[in-house]
Amino acid sequence: MDSFEYNVNPGRIVFGSGSINKLPEEIKRLNASSPLLLSTSRGTKYTNKLAEILRRASIEPAGTFNNAVTHTPVSVTDQAMESMEQKTADCVVSIGGGSVVGLGKPLSIRTGLPHICIPTTYAGSEMTPILGETDAGKKVTRTDPNVLPAVVIYDVDLTMTLPIAVCTTSGVNAIAHAVEALYAKNTNPILSLLALEGVKVLAEALPPIIQDPSSKPTRERALYGAWLCGTCLGFSAMGLHHKICHTLGGSFGLPHAETHTIVLPHALSYNAPAIAKQMRDLATVLPDSEGDALKGLSLLLKSLNAPRALRDFGMKESDVDRAVGLVMGAQYSNPRALEREGVRELLRRAWAGETAR
């Protein structure tokens, strides 16, 4: 057996339908009483709902900031800090997708206040000690255990409105975390169990959501799978797939979950020659794979009507070479050495929407 190290990230998870009603208890557990509520501009309904729950428990929010946007621009965090300084907040509550979680993290770091996170997509940021921020068109990430939220509340009820297109791409985004955890340089047996279970649960739950978006048990399974996959992201060093998506999001403005969905089969295909065991393991949890993980993934993406081409999201063919340069320039571990021509072909296929092979 390979040697390994296993770290347990701190943090508390409250999972279940209706669990946002436990927010007042969670605030009190942290010895706090005056939360700042965060959302995007489209998420005011969430912060209004939280304020109502809190007031019923005699907790008055310190205020709300509804301007979170994707990729955590430092300028927006500065605005939120200004708004916070005028208030007497003693904790931060973020509710929404990764964009809102991404604002709660730097606010918590800058102020030292605890962060309660209520995710409404499957992106997984709430489970990671990673802070990604964009400044002057460049996305920079750093890892710090203090970035981890103190509490994460997973409430399936909030995800019932997640449009099918977001649900499927966000779900595949979560699967990508688990896939890369299987071959991460710091993987371990527990992580592999979580990763395979996360892929299995999501691969089973996502297609039925398309058939019946109102099915709460299926949406709940998907959220559970997303938690497992987010845990994988938080514990392990990601490889080529995540680095490519990070580059495409940060430097070309491509949308996060859609980019992960399009790139995953190509990145997996590139790494396949170096990860024979992981490919076999992955095939066991992807329905109808017949022992071939790439086939299983391709069938899953087909059943989800998932987007397949980066060019459909505004990437130009001439951007491919610039992206290759950026990807090759970054230093990170990956099971297969980075070869310029191979990476270029991977990106070209993802750009054109060709089948991974």
**Contact stretch for ligand NAD (CB under 6 A) within 80-88, 118-126, 190-198, 208-216:** 118-126
Torsion of CA 18, 19, 25, 28, to 10 degrees: -130
> Cβ 338 to ligand NAD, closest distance in Å?
22
Among residues 24, 73, 96, 265, the one that binds ligand NAD under rule CB under 6 A: 96
Residue 227 in contact with residue 13, Cβ under 8 Å? yes
Written as one letter, the residue type at 7 is N
> Cβ 200 to ligand NAD, closest distance in Å?
21
Residue 274 in contact with residue 336, Cβ under 8 Å? yes
Q: Does 159 bind ligand NAD (CB under 6 A)?
A: yes
> Cβ 295 to ligand NAD, closest distance in Å?
26
Q: Does 187 bind ligand NAD (CB under 6 A)?
A: no
Q: How many CB atoms lie within 10 A of CB 107?
A: 21
| Host H or E run for residue 140 | strand 138-143
- Nearer of residues 129 and 296 to ligand NAD, judged by Cβ: 129
CA–CA distances in Å: residue 290 to residues 227, 240, 287, 313: 27, 26, 8, 32
> Cβ 18 to ligand NAD, closest distance in Å?
15
Reference 237, options 333, 155, 110; nearest CA is: 333
As a whole number of angstroms, the longest Cα–Cα distance in the chain is 61
- Nearer of residues 77 and 289 to ligand NAD, judged by Cβ: 77
- Nearer of residues 64 and 289 to ligand NAD, judged by Cβ: 64
Among residues 88, 161, 284, 305, the one that binds ligand NAD under rule CB under 6 A: 161
As a whole number of angstroms, the distance between CA 36 and CA 53 comes to 14
> Cβ 198 to ligand NAD, closest distance in Å?
14
Q: Does 130 bind ligand NAD (CB under 6 A)?
A: yes
As a whole number of angstroms, the distance between CA 335 and CA 268 comes to 11
Which residue's entry shows tokens 């489970």?
127
Contacting ligand NAD within 246-285 (CB under 6 A): 256-257
Written as one letter, the residue type at 169 is T
Q: Does 49 bind ligand NAD (CB under 6 A)?
A: no
As a whole number of angstroms, the distance between CA 284 and CA 151 comes to 33
HSE (CB half, 13 Å, CA atoms) of 200? 11
**Contact stretch for ligand NAD (CB under 6 A) within 6-14, 48-56, 161-169, 261-269:** 161-169
- Nearer of residues 61 and 129 to ligand NAD, judged by Cβ: 129
Among residues 107, 123, 222, 248, the one that binds ligand NAD under rule CB under 6 A: 123
- Nearer of residues 118 and 297 to ligand NAD, judged by Cβ: 118
Q: Does 149 bind ligand NAD (CB under 6 A)?
A: no
> Cβ 130 to ligand NAD, closest distance in Å?
4
As a whole number of angstroms, the distance between CA 18 and CA 158 comes to 9
As a whole number of angstroms, the distance between CA 228 and CA 13 comes to 12
Among residues 71, 311, 336, 348, the one that binds ligand NAD under rule CB under 6 A: 71
Q: Does 77 bind ligand NAD (CB under 6 A)?
A: no
| Host H or E run for residue 234 | helix 216-235
Number of residues that bind ligand NAD (CB under 6 A): 25
Tally of residues, the chain? 357
Q: Does 39 bind ligand NAD (CB under 6 A)?
A: no
Q: Which residues bind ligand NAD (CB under 6 A)?
A: 40, 42, 70-71, 96-99, 102, 120-121, 123-125, 128, 130, 132, 158-159, 161-162, 166, 170, 256-257
